[in-house]
Amino acid sequence: MDKARPSIKDLHARLSQGETKSVDLTQQSLDHAKNSDSLGTLFLSLREGRAMAAAEAADQRAKQGKRLGPLDGIPIAIKDNIVMKDEVATCGSQFLRDYVSPYDSHVVGKLKEAGAVIIGKTNLDEFAMGSSNEHSAYGVVRNPWDRDRVPGGSSGASAVCVAAGIAPLSLGSETGGSVRQPASFCGVVGVKPTYGRVSRYGLVAFASSLDQIGPFSWWVEDAALLLQVIAGRDERDSTSAAQAVDDYPQTIQKPIDGLRVGLVRDFTATDLDAAAEKNFSTAVEAIRGLGAKTVEVSLPHLKYAVGCYYVINSAEASANLARFDGVRYTSRSKDHGNLKDLFVNSRTQGFGVEVKRRIMLGTYVLSAGYYDAYYGKACKIRHLIREDFIKAFAKCDVILTPTSPCEAFPLGAKLENPLQMYLSDVFTASINLAGLPAVSVPSGFSEQGLPFGLQIIAPDFAEGRALGVAHHYQQSTDWKDMRP
């Protein structure tokens, strides 16, 4: 894609008027993807033949005046834990290196119906467990603003794909911040929808009560458009909400004058980098300048969020990953003399260090004698955190926080200290615990030229409200004109 970063609306107009073709856009994306070695292992698979065939079909529909909508013919990349029929879905793991999905996920089906051209599957921390995209079995991903820095995780490659201009849209997944934190580190827009707003059917499960699929884009209006396409009830996912989907592209145009914006006093106790704190204060002033009114809100149980989150996500990971045993659809160890050896050796060889850490922690907190002390208590704290948000939203319409406590950190800086890595989720994990929607929008740069993100949190199913604040803020700032 060109450095001007045209919006999907602009690209759609060019396609409809015959100024360009989908095959041209798709070829540009594929060429850029194939020449992205400086960004590390960005793609785990490229769909060159199938993508070009889809682009040709989109051009044929355009010629016949039968376009399927604004995403018809638009290139998009998807994270490799979202399955696609007849395509490999590795989840960044050696365990699934040969797994080919026999079906489409819900979101892939929606993208195909909309005519979007899926160019490939992006890298990720193994089974989406990580905050730096350094835990993939297939290599690290590098930040386009500084190749020696992480892009964030686990959806770092999907964020880089948009930030580097390879594709205007991508999809990632969230469990505790894996869309919003990479969006912040890479200077793009990332959306975490309400739990149940987007079907998880075909998303390889990490922590089922926390996981959600979300969009990346350069422009907030494009994220709104993509969310519009993939949101909605899906009978194949029992947690999918039946609530009607708002017209997000229309909703974001509403002015935010008079909107009540909550500022959380409890965040002052967190380990927030001085530069990130200064950036956040500047962003708040800009939001006030748009006519919003700030009020102070309290989330008293927020200090327990990271610990609570890692107990719950590890417990659910332990249960979900039990299916990967070397017997069914995963790689199998050749070193076994009996069934027990097959299980143990396959899992020992197939899983990476971080995945093993989560499985062991999760198995421990679910074990007899420790269940009530850890998992049971974490579930009670989770309920209190959600209640805190409900009370806060009685006083405000949205809540603002930094997306991350710091700028993108150097590659390798936190690999030997898992606790420091986990603290990267200090501003994001509580949102997944509460099931709320949130948006990260670029909010400026550090002295080192690295992006920061502003997080906008909204009540259940008020994605349009959060996107609207993000849209007006983005349009009022110069950050959107910066390029890696």
Q: How far is it, in rounded angstroms, from Cα 274 to Cα 299?
A: 22
CB distance 355 to 321 below 8 Å? yes
CB distance 163 to 186 below 8 Å? yes
Active-site entry in 7, 36, 101, 154? 154
Catalytic residue list contains 476 = no
Active-site entry in 22, 178, 199, 430? 178
Strands (E), 38-168: 43-46, 75-79, 117-122
Catalytic residue list contains 178 = yes
Burial class (CB within 10 angstroms; exposed 0-12, middle 13-18, buried 19+) of 81: buried
Q: Please name the residue ranges forming H helices in 139-214.
A: 156-163, 180-186
Exposure letters 140-153 (e unless 16+ CB within 10 A, then b): bbbbbbbeebbbbb
- Gyration radius from the chain CA atoms: 21
CA-closest candidate to residue 110, choices 243, 227, 252: 227
Q: How far is it, in rounded angstroms, from Cα 203 to Cα 70?
A: 25
Catalytic residue list contains 79 = yes
Exposure letters 280-289 (e unless 16+ CB within 10 A, then b): beebbebbee
Q: Write out the DSSP string of 238-273.
A: TT---SPPP-HHHHTTS--TT-EEEEEGGGGGS---
Q: How far is it, in rounded angstroms, from Cα 249 to Cα 219?
A: 11
Q: How far is it, in rounded angstroms, from Cα 117 to Cα 166?
A: 13
CA-closest candidate to residue 452, choices 266, 280, 223: 280
Which 8-state DSSP code applies to residue 121?
E
Active-site entry in 79, 121, 192, 414? 79
Q: Return the residue matching tokens 């609306």.
A: 9
Burial class (CB within 10 angstroms; exposed 0-12, middle 13-18, buried 19+) of 173: buried
Which 8-state DSSP code applies to residue 375?
I
Neighbours of 268 (CB within 10 A): 8
Which sequence positions are flagged as catalytic?
79, 154, 178
